[in-house]
Amino acid sequence: MFKQHFFPSASWQSFRAPLDISSGTVVAFDPYQTPSYIWIRKALWHTTDGYQTIGFKPGRYGIVEELYGMTRLTILGPNAVNIQFPSGGSGELELEFLIQSSPTILKKLIGDLWTLANKEARRI
What is the Cα gyration radius of the chain? 15
Q: Residue 105: which residues within 8 A CB-CB, separation 6 or more?
A: 35, 36, 37
In this structure, is residue 55 part of a structural domain? yes
pLDDT tens digits for range 42-67: 999 998 889 999 989 999 889 999 99
Average pLDDT over residues 32-38: 84
- In this predicted structure, the answer to whether residue 26 has a pLDDT above a threshold of 80 is yes
Q: Is residue 105 included in any domain, yes or no?
A: yes
**Is 39 a domain residue?**
yes
pLDDT of residue 6: 60
Residue 7 has pLDDT above 80, yes or no: no
Say how far apart CA 60 and CA 90 lie, in whole Å.
Answer: 28
Task: For residue 65, tell me if it sits in a domain.
Answer: yes
Task: Provide the total of helices (H) and of strands (E) in the chain, helices listed first.
Answer: 1, 9
Percent of the chain with pLDDT over 90: 30
Domain carrying residue 40: 13-123
Domain count, the chain: 1
